Amino acid sequence: MKRGLSSNHRHHSSKLSVKDLALELAKKHLLKMLLDEQQDLDKAKESVYILERDRCTNIKSVGKPITHSTRRYTQGAWMKDPLGIMGTESIFTMENYYGNVIQAFENMDKLKAGVVHKTYSLPHYFDGTGAVVYGPYLYYSRAKTAYIIKYNLHTERLEAQINLGFSTRRNHYRWGGYSYMDLAVDEQGLWVLWGSNGNSYRLSASKIDVHSNRVIQTWSLSTECSKEKKRVVGQLVLLLIEGLNGVNC
């Protein structure tokens, strides 16, 4: 009789232990969720702070270049996501003016040390050095075509192909490079800056709707860009680097 009571008591204790264990696991899970939410909130606050700190203002002067890192090729591009979705300190590099690889670095220190965070193999080769990262997407000129590729860096898949209606290899001004098209981002969104040798080598700027993935408007500018090597947009102001030594705004 006592053994039966003892057995029932142990069985009852075992049930209580399972319930207690489940309760403890639930508490730990809830605590982890709260900690994760707090970390996400802290990251969001940090992103807002950095974006506010780095937000565009009128450029007053241009100083001497600073060398942060060197690469195998003379040509190439490096960029950050202005929206901070891919990380406010993350840096992306694309070496050479023709290839299909983009590398991500967690911050400038990792870039200097050559510590790659992630390497992406692109679905199509790129032309030129005018690519941009905008949010979770990489936009670049698809080699030998009239298309801009929209590549999702999260899913590592092709998101869309935006038709420009002209081949950047046949509209390369007087330099004769692989591509004379640059993508740029400002507060108004995504732009493509390009030239036509049929327009007296004048520069054109086209606005791209990143939701419908199409060119919605194009402006023909009076600026002749036969010498400029790089073009960027900031607060609807076009900045031109003339040759390798000077800057025109």
- CATH number, position 95: 2.40.128.630
pLDDT of residue 172: 53
In Å, how far are 65, 103, 130, 211 from 245, measured between CA atoms? 11, 28, 19, 37
- pLDDT interval class at 153 (50, 70, 90): very high
SS (H, E, C) the chain: CHHHHHHHHHHHHHHHHHHHHHHHHHHHHHHHHHHHHHHHHHHHHHHHHHHHHCCCCCCCCCCCCCCCCCCCCCCEEEECCCCCCCCCCCEEEEECCEEEEEEEECCHHHHHHCCCCEEEEEEEEEECCCCEEECCEEEEEECCCCEEEEEECCCCEEEEEEECCCCCCCCCCCCCCCCCEEEEEECCEEEEEEEECCCCCEEEEEEEECCCCEEEEEEEEEEECCCEEEEEEECCEEEEEECCCEEEC
- pLDDT interval class at 249 (50, 70, 90): very low
CB 110 within 8 A of CB 69: no
Residue 7 lies in a domain: no
Q: Write down the mean pLDDT value for the chain.
A: 78
Residue 45 lies in a domain: yes
Across residues 167-179, what is the average pLDDT?
A: 54
Residue 116 lies in a domain: yes
Residue 6 lies in a domain: no
pLDDT (tens digit per residue) in 29-44 = 888 877 877 776 776 6
Residue 106 lies in a domain: yes
State pTM to two decimals. Answer: 0.70
- More confidently predicted of 74 and 107: 107
- More confidently predicted of 97 and 121: 121
Residue 61 lies in a domain: no
Residue type, 62: V
Q: Which of 57, 50, 136, 61 is nearest to 92 (CA)?
A: 136
Residue type, 141: S
Which residues constitute the domain of residue 219?
19-54+76-243
**Number of residues assigned to the chain:** 249
Across residues 172-190, what is the average pLDDT?
A: 71
pLDDT of residue 66: 85
As for how many domains the chain has, the answer is 1
Residue 233 lies in a domain: yes
Residue 36 lies in a domain: yes
pLDDT of residue 71: 83
